[in-house]
Amino acid sequence: MCVCERDYSNLYRTETSLQQEEEEPTLLSMAHAKSAGGNLQVPNVQALSQTWNQSGELVPARYVRTEETSDAVVVAGCALPVVDLGRLLDPRSSQEELAVLGSACQQGFFQLVNHGVPDDVVLDVRRDIAEFFRLPLEAKKVYAQLPDGLEGYGQAFVFSEAQKLDWSDMMYLMLRPVESRDMSFWPVHPPSFRTSVDRYSAEAAKVVWCLLRFMAADMGVEPELLQEMFAGQPQTMKMTYYPPCRQADKVIGLSPHTDACAVTLLLHVNDVQGLQIRMDDGKWHPVEPLDGALIVSVGDIIEILSNGKYRSIEHRAVVHPDKERISAAMFHQPRGSITVEPLPELVKKDGGVARYKSVGYAEFMKRFFSAKLDGRKGHLDHFRV
């Protein structure tokens, strides 16, 4: 993957000069959590499931989501497009694979194979994430979220005592730029956790840097244009534990949403699946990941930049009746100083028609958090013309 590694070295030369500018956007989500009034503490779902699953009681009312679990689900697994990063990087096959990438981004989700992340990096981060969630509750609480922030261990976007809850717990970390990390939230157990997450963070950033360049090529814009918008590559990671639930048909592991970022890389930590995406038929389709693949999700930012050519697709997570599920989502954001709007070159290609409003990134994220606070879906609709 030498081409991307060479380009990535240029990123580091740029990153130092932009360091001050990038520290603010990396902490943007924290600021909006504060503006929303902070997260409320709720029961730990992993601990709850260990006692409740042995009882004969009904699932606690705050977790009952029958209005959503009753939606139609297609039984057969969804065959996501498969993009081969190795073929994209090979001049002999790059152009052909670029068409595959473009088509996949128009569908919003795809599986990325031959991504170049070393097997030992993936194995190590999977092992350490799983071991962290196996720690006693009191050991995990050392890294608990603060009331006015998202980083740390707990649940996200809980702002009301009457709010329905997801059947999951999470660990959320700021990863990049490196200077923005608050190491007080980084577990010291297992002992290799910090090293394995750091290594995976660096490899994921390389992958996304490559994808952004090829996305630019498919869209017909200069790669440097996207490089500048994503310089420093603000990056966060959400590790989620979905406990088993014997009444799994009544709960939701992760509420339906789109990702308010540029690109998400999803790593399945264990072999229990639960990701579902809503297709054009309005039904939920389960995703069955390929062995060794990363699941890539196009985020809201890229949909807007592409003037709607690429799509950010609604997705959710369901839980298993008797097996735990663990996943790790790596979110990649643009620089906080950018204006989120369709790229002028693409508007021109579309006959001068911009399909989305222009908005500052800070305002874009503010509306995202506001939608979460109000329990609204489809916040991206607000920006459509």
High-pLDDT (> 70) share of the chain, %? 88
Q: What is the CATH number of domain 39-383?
A: 2.60.120.330
Reading the block at residue 124, the tokens are: 């190590």
Residues sharing a CB contact under 8 Å with residue 242, sequence separation 6 or more, in sequence order: 167, 168, 253, 254, 272, 274, 317, 319, 320, 324, 325, 326, 327
Report yes or no: 37 and 349 within 8 Å, Cβ to Cβ: no
First to last CA, the chain: 40
Residues of the chain with pLDDT under 50: 1-3, 5-37
pTM for the whole thing?
0.90
- pLDDT of amino acid 66: 86
Report yes or no: 154 and 145 within 8 Å, Cβ to Cβ: yes
Report yes or no: 343 and 219 within 8 Å, Cβ to Cβ: yes
- pLDDT of amino acid 21: 43
- pLDDT of amino acid 79: 82
Domain ranges of the chain: 39-383
Which residue, chain included where needed, has tokens 């109000």? 374
- The Cβ of residue 126 has, within 10 Å, a number of other Cβ atoms equal to 18
List pLDDT tens digits, range 287-303. 999 999 999 999 999 99
- The Cβ of residue 374 has, within 10 Å, a number of other Cβ atoms equal to 11
List pLDDT tens digits, range 95-105. 999 999 999 99
Output the CA angle 236-238-240, nearest 5 degrees: 175
Residues sharing a CB contact under 8 Å with residue 20, sequence separation 6 or more, in sequence order: none
